[in-house]
Amino acid sequence: MPEVAHQTAVEQTFLDRAVARRGEILVDLDTEIAAAPADRDGQARAQVLRRRRTELRRARDGLVFGRLDALDGTVRHIGRVGLRQADDDAEPLVLDWRADAARPFYTATPLSPQGQARRRHIRTQGATVTDVSDEPLDGSSDSGLVGEGALLAALGQRRTGRMGTAISTLQREQDDIIRADASGALIVQGGPGTGKTVVALHRVAYLLFTYPQLAEQGVLVLGPSARFLEYIEQVLPALGETAVVSATCDTLLPGVVVERPESREVSEIKGRVVWQSLIEGLVASLVPEPRELRPRWEGEEFPVSAAKVAQMLTAVAGRPYHEARRVFSVQFRQIMVDAVVERREAMLTEVEEGFEDILATFRPGWDDGGPSPAVSGAEVDGQLSDGEIAELRDEIFASATVSGFLTAWWPDLSARDVLGRLLRDRALLSTVLPDDEIARVTDLPGSLAASDIPLLDAVADRLGPVTPDDPEGESVADRARRSREWVYGHVVVDEAQELSEMQWQMVLRRCPARSVTAVGDIDQAEASHRHTTWAGAVGAALGERWRPAELSICYRTPSEVMELTGPVLEKAGSSNRPPKAVRSSGVPPWSLATSPDDVAEVAARSVARLTERWAGGTVGVVAPASLMGVLPAALPGIPVMTAAEAKGLEWDATLVVDPDGISAEPRGWNGLYVALTRCTQELGQIVVTR
């Protein structure tokens, strides 16, 4: 005990030094930012400095959380952000957890110590060291976990309803995924409690640190629900990352919201990838057919032949509808300029030839070798000057009359109107859907369901904006959030097993380079699509251009609960094994039976007991949709949700009400698997007898 106290004091001294150094760096950054030149390079530099300042300001907690003692005597402290020493040539005072040199903190084992003799976990509250625990890497102890004491202590803490960072307790299989190469699509399979979301978010932080150019493009994080995004919203800012946009597939299209619910059957139909080619073909067919065009300028017609129009249309083929029209419009206006110039000069030449004798009297000496004036133009020599042509070009290009003529022939289109046209076109739909499914998608109101958003996005993509978007904002995230056309440097998809094929198309439009990290559990899928494997889920979008990874260890859900999940998975039709739980809560799962009439009262009493037992933590209730009308009213202040809504969330204690009702829902055994695995300490079930 005295040794632990001594080492705690040692680390407190170091933390005091790190806090002081952090303050010095912040002062230096303020000075540099204030002195930055006003030119473009200076402001770009200032933006980088401001990002670093924000990162340091947020690094109050976890400034130092670990230490590596190497076999050669080198000591390195690990923290949330790196801290350089006053001497730039010296080793960093604190090593950023994302740096390559910090990796042994997560991956060294007694069997593979990677040159390290000891790993130390340092627990802090603000600027105070509360405890230290050492892990020798000489083979004297090996539980298979990195920092077992620190990990189990973190897992045993009360849940607050917000996700916290895990940079001090990441395990090797998690770190391998976090630091995996950013090229291509990485699909991570992980059962309940394996840390999928933690891994995905820490990977964002790692990638932005390792590839600074991503900060200029931004990273998109897609979650399954607004509630889930609220749950994770503090993680990335706590890790120092702000070039991130969080959204759901339903909110990914700026200015568009879901307006109505829709049946699972219709949602499944609209989620199929066949709509992509259907939409591409429809929008391509809306480009006008070539014909002779007869625009007017100053009362005269200037015909453009059908052959020339066809040539210009061929030149813009394949571009989005409105972009093609913009390019065509520029070419068309230039043809008009050339035609007007040619006709004016021809007319002036005819006039001049008819009045040579008269003109000669006003131009004495011009034809006998005398000096000619140093001026030119239509009024002098029948040829328009460069200035006159430029003025004419400006007038034609700015002409509302010409714009109106072009728009009448090649009109602006609304994505929503085009989608409505598609959903009413039975003949077109019959090329990809049978009659009974056509009836389901055409006999619907014009308001938008969730399954319409990816279709609308596909239409908007092929149309393109009427005018190019030039978003302005204070940050990359602000600009990206406002622009449907924004291309991200990387996309993270959580609960990726829920995405339909058309939603995957939506993802790839925002990251054509396919730099994607998708995490999920195919066994927790509750979406309307029918995929039961990752190959089926992502094949339409990625083909074989993706690589798999797996998280096999359950850190969150206690072993007492995980023992219940095997039969549930089997009934769900899965061939996967549940992840291996590494901890026991010591609290066996329990169940109560009640009648349908008493379910709310029994649930209220059970929640009251759980809330008292896990004071300072959280309690959540998962129930079938049929009970969503009665339970929330009986349990004010308690999160009550369906299995689909609970996905990705966790509480200290979970009460599952009517598990048979959950399993009877569509994909109900998958839903029950979700419901049973939300707790970190205690699981209770209320069985409704019927």
- Alpha-helical (H) ranges within 626-689 are 631-634, 643-646, 659-663, 668-676
Burial zone of 216 (CB within 10 Å; 0-12 exposed, 13-18 middle, 19+ buried): exposed
Angle between helices 386-398 and 400-409 (to 10 degrees): 50
Report pLDDT digits (tens) over 337-383: 999 999 988 887 776 665 555 545 544 544 445 444 444 455 555 68
Q: Which residues are annotated as a binding site?
A: 190-197
Pairing status of strand 244-247 against strand 553-554: unpaired
- For 190, phi then psi, to 5°, come to -155, 130
Work out the percent of the chain whose per-residue pLDDT is above 70. Answer: 88
- Whether the pLDDT of residue 311 is over 80: the answer is yes
Tell me, rounded to whole angstroms, the distance of Cα 78 from its chain centroid: 29
Cα separation, 203 vs 398, whole angstroms: 49
Average pLDDT over residues 48-73: 87
pLDDT band at 94 (very low <50, low <70, confident <90, very high): very high
Neighbours of 615 (CB within 10 A): 8
Average pLDDT of the residues in 289-317: 95
The DSSP symbol for 289 reads P
Annotated binding site for ATP: 190-197
Residue type at 73? G
Write out pLDDT tens, residues 578-630: 898 988 999 999 999 999 999 999 999 999 999 999 999 999 999 999 999 99
Among the residue ranges 6-20, 161-175, 243-257, the one predicted with the least confidence is: 161-175
pTM equals 0.76
